[in-house]
Amino acid sequence: MNSSKKFSRRAFIRTGALGVGALSLGSTLSALAACSAQPQKKLGIALVGLGGYAGGQLAPALQQAQYCYLAGIVTGTPSKAVEWSKKYNISQKNIYNYQNFDEIKNNPDIDIVYVVLPVALHKEFTIRAAQAGKHVICEKPMALNARDCEEMIAACKKANRMLSIGYRLHFEPHNMEVMRLGQQKVLGKITSMDNGNGFKYGGDPNAWRLKKALAGGGGLMDMGIYAIQGARYTTGMEPLKVRARQEKTNPELFKEVDETVFWELQFPGGLVTTGKSSYNNNWGYLRAKAERGSFELEPAYGYGGIAGKRSDGPLLFPQINQQQAQMDDFAQCVMNNKPTRVPGEEGLKDMRVIDAIYRSLDNSGNWETIG
């Protein structure tokens, strides 16, 4: 998630309370085209947490969605409840806070709960939503660690509810194309790959994302997960080992979390890819070399403006509303009882890599087995 919420939100709450499939771009665009047909029913989504990502991306996307709509909200800020109710015409009976959240189980207007809270709260509210009988989308990173991810998956399975992770780029045409190029070996086997994602943090020094207890980590958790995903979904393989090192040029600002991290991922067959994340560098690329050519994306991971090329020409695909495509796809999965391409297991795989990277940082950059 890409919102900035104050640390005070945690205090308030305390007081109250599968692998990637090789999918063709053609099938993706066909699915997007199918969204132009008005469905018989739209599923209701409740957003849990009304920070920057929920307000700036998810809520507007739900106004364009064809298979789902903004049915409810969950917030600990009364003024936000009033503001959102007026702006999106949300019924008072569909507005919850963190104390009465579990009452959502009695609300037939809400089919899906989208958890958009600080990472430390993902596990709690995903499990509570599933126990309330709601399907769940959980924003990335899925949880603080792989063990929490496993508990979330188990809880959703026990409740017979679907769990999806907010990996919007699995629905973005340019990223779908690099999946096809890499997984189907269109230009031969990938021989090398480098991925980077980051930005220069200039926000609130007391924001939750700089608190280890709430965020789990810094640039690696927030931005590096995209670069890790890029390596995994482009190769179509799961890394076996990782080693990492870090740099910190502003230890006062990033005293609790990582600033810039560099890593190497070792994949089956001997392929080793490189990656990096940062809260102090503007990166956002995916570059791969293969036996008969190369391909890349830059910008690779943003909400729009994605661009790319291969050695024989540019990648010419449309820009889409990624959040709309992501949520519409999950709504159709729920409607048709079909698996999502980004289930909880996908988030778990990333967290196993991240856990291993942090172990490597703690162990002088040694190679660590993933999982």
Q: pLDDT of 129-146, one tens digit each?
A: 999 999 999 999 999 999
Q: How confident is the model over 287-312, as a mean pLDDT?
A: 98
The pLDDT, as a whole number, for residue 208 is: 97
Q: Which residues contact 90 (CB under 8 A, 6 or more apart)?
A: 70, 71, 72, 73, 84
The pLDDT, as a whole number, for residue 366 is: 98
Edge-to-edge strand list for the sheet holding 308-310: 313-315, 308-310, 293-297, 280-290, 190-200, 272-278, 260-266, 241-247, 368-369
Whether 140 is a known active-site residue: answer yes
Task: Choose, from 226, 233, 279, 303, the residue flagged as catalytic.
Answer: 226
The pLDDT, as a whole number, for residue 268 is: 98
DSSP state of 38: P
- CB contact at 8 A, 364 and 346: no
22 has a pLDDT exceeding 90: no
Q: How confident is the model over 331-358, as a mean pLDDT?
A: 98
20 confidence band (pLDDT: 50, 70, 90): very low
What is the per-residue burial (b if ≥16 Cβ within 10 Å, else e) of 291-309?
Answer: eeebbbbebbbebeebbbe
Query: Phi/psi of residue 43, each to 5°?
Result: -85, 145
- CB contact at 8 A, 44 and 69: yes
349 confidence band (pLDDT: 50, 70, 90): very high
Q: What tokens were used for 236?
A: 């179509």
Query: Where are the strands (E) in 170-326, listed by range?
Result: 190-200, 241-247, 260-266, 272-278, 280-290, 293-297, 308-310, 313-315
Edge-to-edge strand list for the sheet holding 95-96: 95-96, 68-74, 43-48, 112-115, 135-138, 163-165
Cα angle vertex 244, ends 240, 249, to 5°? 155
Q: Indicate the pairing of strand 190-200 with strand 112-115.
A: unpaired
Q: What pTM was computed for the model? A: 0.90
More confident residue, 2 or 129: 129
The pLDDT, as a whole number, for residue 330 is: 99
Mean pLDDT score across all residues of the chain: 92
Dist. CA 147–CA 153, nearest whole Å: 10
The pLDDT, as a whole number, for residue 175 is: 98
Dist. CA 315–CA 47, nearest whole Å: 34
CA 357 to chain centre: 18
Whether 67 is a known active-site residue: answer no
Nearest to 330 by CA among 27, 35, 26: 35
Q: What tokens were used for 181?
A: 């190029």
Helix pair 344-362, 146-158: axis angle to 10 deg? 160
The pLDDT, as a whole number, for residue 19 is: 35
More confident residue, 3 or 220: 220
Q: Which residues contact 182 (CB under 8 A, 6 or more apart)?
A: 190, 233, 234, 235, 236, 288, 290
Nearest to 55 by CA among 9, 11, 88: 88
Q: How confident is the model over 76-97, as a mean pLDDT?
A: 98
Dist. CA 199–CA 134, nearest whole Å: 35
Q: What tokens were used for 257?
A: 């979390």
359 confidence band (pLDDT: 50, 70, 90): very high
At residue 278, the 3 state secondary structure works out as strand
The pLDDT, as a whole number, for residue 31 is: 47
Query: In Å, how far are 90, 261, 265 from 360, measured between CA atoms?
Result: 47, 11, 12
CATH numbers and ranges of domains, the chain: 8-168 (3.40.50.720), 172-320+344-369 (3.30.360.10)
Task: Choose, from 123, 140, 276, 349, the residue flagged as catalytic.
Answer: 140
